[in-house]
Structure 1
Amino acid sequence: MQNLRDKIKRKLSIHDKNPDLSSYDDPEDIDDETAGYLQREADKAEESDQPHGKPGSFLNKLIMHGNKKTEEQLAREQALSSQNK
């Protein structure tokens, strides 16, 4: 049964205890309940002084994961450009 679960593509959900954010790069991979929740949390974050969402929240984890990926990509691109000089 576990092998079957591994083959089935799951959508990212707020109910996942330890979501693997690295495998969810496409917004279409988020279930409807989670998308609505994230939209509400993003609206609250815009109104408050916490632009990345409440620390430890699902929204915060997604934003921090995205920021980390961007920083890593920029570092790779900088390393490539310095090698080409």
Structure 2
Amino acid sequence: MKTSLNHLEKGECGRVIALTCQKATARRLLELGVTPNTRIYCIRWAPMHGAIEVKIRGYLLAVGYNDAASILIEKEGG
């Protein structure tokens, strides 16, 4: 199921499909390893639409809510 990263629940994972953000933000996310076809796991959410902590390429990364909304993913199992 295709959705954005900000719709993943704790413990769910998916594969990055595309970035729909501005060029500068996309460049930063790409430099951090958020690239197409990369598996990304939701570790936890901060309250009140705060940052999402994800595991990608073996490390933890905090992604802001708006940036998470611009990361399109395909949901996967466990």
Q: Would you say same fold, with TM above 0.5? A: no
Please identify which structure carries the higher strand content: 2
Larger radius of gyration: 1
Higher relative contact order (CA 8 A, sep 6+): 2
Structure 1 or 2: more helix by fraction: 1
Name the TM-score, length of structure 2 as normaliser: 0.29
